[in-house]
Homo-oligomer: A and B are copies of this chain.
Amino acid sequence: MHRAAVERTNDVFAAQLAPVGRETVQDRVYSELRRALIGGLFEPSQVLTIRGLADALVTSTMPVREALGRLITEKALEALPNRSVRVPPITLERIDDLLRARILIEGEAISLAATRMGPRGIAIVEALLREWDEVRALKHKKDIDREVTLNQSFHFEIYRACGSAVLIPMIESLWLQSGPCIRVAIYAFSEAGEVDTAHYHRSIVAALAAQDAQAAREALVADISRPFAFLRDKLQSKARME
């Protein structure tokens, strides 16, 4: 076929056809497992099997085993000496360890973002906040998954502005690791009567709009510390009862 003809063809369809994407099955499995982990769909200490997940995801074992291997290297899952793999169990030490790391790294990221996030970025996170308010307005239906997703978008929209290709994957890894814990904390919130989560987020946005890095960091620390503190108390009281 002549070159001109090929380009003609491209021109005709370019506007109408969406790119079909080149995502592999493995990528989809990996993304799906990540989503499930961050969303807290798996419980701490839950054992996962390759064939079980392959059946659930309607694929063969191959993409699943590679995805599991990747999640194990980022400590989102844990390889037992039996060669079986499970969601890491919650311990007090792990909670404190995760919180400290998150404060350190996400605090740094938001400090950087405070000076680099333009009005356009601010507008986006403000829109996310409004969307969240709408979800919370119709309270009758506890759409926790939706809230988790919005919270994630809110935070990562900010972190993205820090412009670090090194820090952001680390934060993702930390969210992956704290996902199963956070889920427990969220359920605890639901039982205990929810505190105003939105308040912290509004403080964060205000600090970012003022380009006040220190205030943004402090508001963020308060925001991410709260569920961890909640979870910590819960675990301790449970430990006392036994």
Interface residues of A (CB under 8 A from B): 22, 26, 65-66, 69-70, 72-75, 81, 93-94, 97-98, 100-101, 104-105, 108, 164-167, 169-170, 173-174, 177
Determine the distance from Cα of A98 to Cα of B104 in the docked complex, in whole angstroms. Answer: 16
6 shortest A-B CB distances, which residue pairs? A70-B73, A101-B166, A97-B166, A66-B69, A97-B164, A104-B108
User: Do residues B81 and A170 form an inter-chain contact, with CB atoms below 8 A?
Assistant: no
Please tell me how many copies of the chain the complex holds.
2
The residue in A98, A100, A166 that gathers the most chain B C-beta atoms within 10 A of its C-beta is: A166
Partner of A177, one of B97, B105, B166, B173: B166
Determine the distance from Cα of A26 to Cα of B166 in the docked complex, in whole angstroms. Answer: 26
Chain B: minimal CB distance from A211 (Å): 19
Determine the distance from Cα of A104 to Cα of B101 in the docked complex, in whole angstroms. Answer: 11
Determine the distance from Cα of A167 to Cα of B99 in the docked complex, in whole angstroms. Answer: 11
Chain B contacts for A170, CB-based, 8 A: 101, 170, 173
Determine the distance from Cα of A100 to Cα of B166 in the docked complex, in whole angstroms. Answer: 9
User: Do residues A81 and B164 form an inter-chain contact, with CB atoms below 8 A?
Assistant: no
User: Do residues A169 and B108 form an inter-chain contact, with CB atoms below 8 A?
Assistant: no
A/B interface sample: 20 pairs, CB < 8 A? A26-B69, A66-B66, A69-B70, A70-B73, A73-B74, A74-B74, A75-B169, A94-B166, A97-B164, A97-B166, A97-B167, A101-B167, A101-B170, A104-B104, A104-B105, A104-B108, A105-B105, A166-B174, A170-B170, A170-B173
